[in-house]
Chains A and B, each alone.
Chain A
Amino acid sequence: MKPFTYEKASSPAQAATAVARERGAKFIAGGTNLLDLMKIEVEAPPHLVDINGLGLDAIAPTDEGGLRVGALVRNTDLAADARIRRDYGLLTRALVAGASGQLRNKATTAGNLLQRTRCPYFYDTHQACNKRLPGSGCAALGGFSRSHAIVGVSNACIAVHPSDMAVAMRALDAAVETVKPDGTTRRIPIADFYKLPGSTPHVENVLAAAELITAVTLPKPVGGTHVYHKVRDRASYAFALVSVAAVLQPDGSGRVALGGVAPMPWRVEAAEANLPKGAKAVTSSLLAGARTTPQNAMKVALVERTLGAVIADAGA
């Protein structure tokens, strides 16, 4: 870990200004991913701006009948909130499927959205990785790729986005609220938040430099049955091979998002029209254009079968 200077921010805009002031500076909140990566020097910010004291930890109703979740609301608290459990059960389910109790007590809503991939070549600083070191190549291609992405990938990167929470947020049409150093704010629908790797896998989202997430908003509840099925080898404390987030309505319509298959939480709204036809039809449009390796090609069948189980569960 490289030495860094450290300050506690006094307001969201001040935090953004402080990060803008020094090249490479970063916000730190839960720190559970950033410090992990700093220890192995995948990340080496010269300055950290601690935003924990900013009070962005409330969950409050919005005028539109939804909820505004502060950027610093811990995963545990978000999952346990009575309104979330009642109206956005998918989000609670996704949150508690991720990480461990200890990590959820620290990890924040905004930080979870910004989790970096768990690709082992990304984590091994002496291996080729275009995400970590642009232009160095991708060692996962032709190497270990069982847990890697099958859709949205490029020849530069097949890393998968590791978050469970973000998958639920995508299915629930959440939006990300931010503030920039100049004090301007914006609202980014989660559908527009992440970027596919293309030839620049190190660029993972649309945030500008020093732009700070202040909240994530949830639109008004959509009802339906909420199911999150995370498939993994180990029963807990493991990243998804595949996860399926679904909100299914009594009339057979619904929404489906996937985790573990793409560089971002994966949702294809057009595929959802096929829900009444069953899992196979939905999967075939959800995963259209899938590009697989011999090790992860099984995810195609796994998505279809898991979605089938989810639909069956919801009907039961």
Chain B
Amino acid sequence: MDITDQLNISRRGFLKLTAVSATVAATPPLVARAAVPDVARAPVTQQVAMEVNGKPATLSLDTRTTLLDALREHMHLTGTKKGCDHGQCGACTVLVDGRRINSCLTLAVMHEGSKVTTIEGLGTPDALHPLQAAFIKHDGYQCGYCTPGQICSAVGVLDEIRRDVPSHVTADIGAKATFSTAELRERMSGNICRCGAYSNIVEAITEVQEGRA
């Protein structure tokens, strides 16, 4: 095994840097203990009522159930995807009370009274939402797994621009937010597409935006 002491710190340079000087074993120890005790606590079930795609839904759920798993596993609304379950990909994006969020990082029981819109609530194969139609026209997807999240996110993005929410690329945050390709790319960056359909997704959303303008 090649082990170099990674802690030999340069003392060169104007700052006279010093080393992080812990004496560290070549290979850190195994951590057999967990941070939490090994007890099997009993699950807790709680009832929650929300409105999903315009229809009331009352569910009795484990408190641990995320909104994402409530949709996918309990309501069988599998259009909302689980890509990472940690807020790192955006595939689970849904609209809650009109705002886009990662449904994997919120508990279902926290959504008493919420109005949730998923991809299934935006349109159907026979009655497509304009964004769904534009994604098809511009081939803004390949494998399709991130697609519902991209489309829900795009609904949120267009609304956020209308509501004058600034972004990282907004040149003048004192002025009203406006639509541009650069704005779209920045604002859609929470939705990863590993197939790499980004260029087409931007064209699809732009077409819908221009149709509204």
Give the B-binding residues of A (Cβ under 8 A). 1-6, 8, 28, 31-32, 35-36, 39, 41-42, 44, 46, 48, 50, 52, 76, 79-80, 85-86, 89, 92-93, 96-97, 99-103, 105-106, 125-129, 132-133, 136-139, 141-143, 145, 153, 155-156, 158, 235-237, 280, 283-284, 287-295, 297, 300
* Cross-chain pairs A/B with CB under 8 angstroms, 16 sampled: A3-B63, A41-B35, A85-B173, A96-B167, A101-B190, A103-B87, A103-B190, A127-B28, A128-B29, A141-B24, A235-B186, A237-B190, A284-B14, A292-B9, A293-B7, A295-B6
Is the pair B33, A293 in contact by a Cβ cutoff of 8 Å? Answer: no
Task: Give residues of chain B (31-63) contacting chain A, Cβ–Cβ below 8 Å.
Answer: 31, 33-36, 41-44, 46, 62-63
If A1-B64, A4-B63, A101-B100 touch, does A85 touch B17 (CB 8 Å cutoff)?
Answer: no
Size range of the interface on B? Answer: 35 or more
Q: Is the CB of A35 within 8 A of B189?
A: no
Partner of A3, one of B33, B43, B190: B43
Q: Which residues on B sit within 8 Å (CB–CB) of A31?
A: 105-107, 110
- Structural contact, A80 and B99, CB atoms closer than 8 A: no
Contact A35/B168 with A101-B100, A291-B20 known, Cβ cut-off 8 Å: no
Closest 8 pairs (CB-CB, A-B): A100-B190, A155-B22, A236-B189, A44-B36, A142-B6, A3-B41, A128-B28, A139-B28
B positions within 8 Å CB-CB of A: 5-10, 13-15, 17-22, 24-26, 28-31, 33-36, 41-44, 46, 62-64, 66, 85-87, 90, 93, 99-102, 105-107, 109-110, 112, 153, 156-157, 160, 163-168, 170, 173-174, 185-192
- Within the complex, the shortest CB–CB distance from B148 to chain A, in Å, comes to 13
Partner of B35, one of A4, A133, A297: A133
18 further A-B contacts with Cβ under 8 Å, apart from A6-B109, A105-B100, A237-B189, are: A3-B63, A31-B107, A41-B36, A50-B110, A76-B99, A99-B190, A102-B156, A105-B99, A127-B31, A137-B25, A137-B29, A142-B6, A287-B15, A291-B17, A291-B20, A292-B10, A293-B9, A295-B6
